[in-house]
């Protein structure tokens, strides 16, 4: 908010300046300012952010700015000009990925093939483009997880990297993943 994003400029070819009757004084405004998250400063046409903007909700704003000549002694005249203003919103990585479901569970036999996919973790991210890509990482695990499974950081696929022996006392692999 209050970040300057552009400026509308205009010139007035009146011979007298502001100090000689006010004929060069211009006043800037939006033609329709309903629900517009941008202000245009009356005195110099500077455009600033005045509300929440989010690329995922609206990528571009197309607005009409108007400049009015404040003729003799600052009295607003009918002399106006309009210009189309386009403001493109740049995407920011501001959405957290969401893993669904939040808990995964699967049972495999000791004959499950090494390299086989046990399960695939899925996450979505509301960000668009490169900001919406998701990567996966194991954040904590029991000892067997490090030896027995691999997580593909790009796809979320959990694969078996070593054979399983169900006669061993620990036959459960537990791990947490962050997307």
Total-model pTM: 0.63
Instruction: Give the Cα separation of 166 and 80 in Å (integer).
Output: 83
DSSP letters spanning 118-140 = EEE--EE--S-GGGG----EEEE
Kindly report, residue by residue over 15-61, the tens digit of the pLDDT.
555 444 545 688 999 998 788 999 999 999 999 999 999 888 899 99
Contact 11, 25 (CB under 8 A): no
DSSP class of residue 111? Answer: T
How far apart are alpha carbons 142 and 161 in whole angstroms?
A: 15
Q: What is the pLDDT of residues 94-132, one digit of tens each?
A: 889 999 999 999 999 889 999 999 999 999 998 888 888
């Amino acid at each position: 908010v209050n970040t300057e994003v552009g400026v509308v400029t205009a010139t007035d070819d009146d011979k007298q300046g502001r100090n000689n009757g006010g004929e060069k004084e211009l006043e800037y405004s939006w033609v329709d300012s309903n629900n517009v998250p941008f202000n245009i400063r009356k005195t110099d046409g500077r455009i600033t952010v005045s509300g929440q903007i989010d690329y995922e909700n609206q990528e571009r704003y197309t607005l009409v700015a108007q400049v009015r000549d404040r003729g003799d002694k600052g009295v607003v005249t009918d002399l106006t000009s309009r210009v189309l203003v386009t403001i493109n919103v740049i995407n920011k990585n501001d959405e957290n990925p969401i893993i669904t479901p939040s808990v995964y569970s699967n049972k495999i036999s000791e004959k499950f093939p090494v390299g086989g996919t046990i399960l695939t973790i899925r996450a979505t991210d509301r960000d668009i483009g490169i900001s919406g890509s998701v990567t996966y990482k194991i954040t904590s695990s029991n000892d067997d997880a490090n030896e027995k499974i691999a997580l593909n950081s790009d796809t979320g696929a959990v694969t078996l990297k070593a054979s399983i022996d169900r006669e061993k006392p620990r036959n459960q692999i537990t791990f947490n993943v962050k997307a």
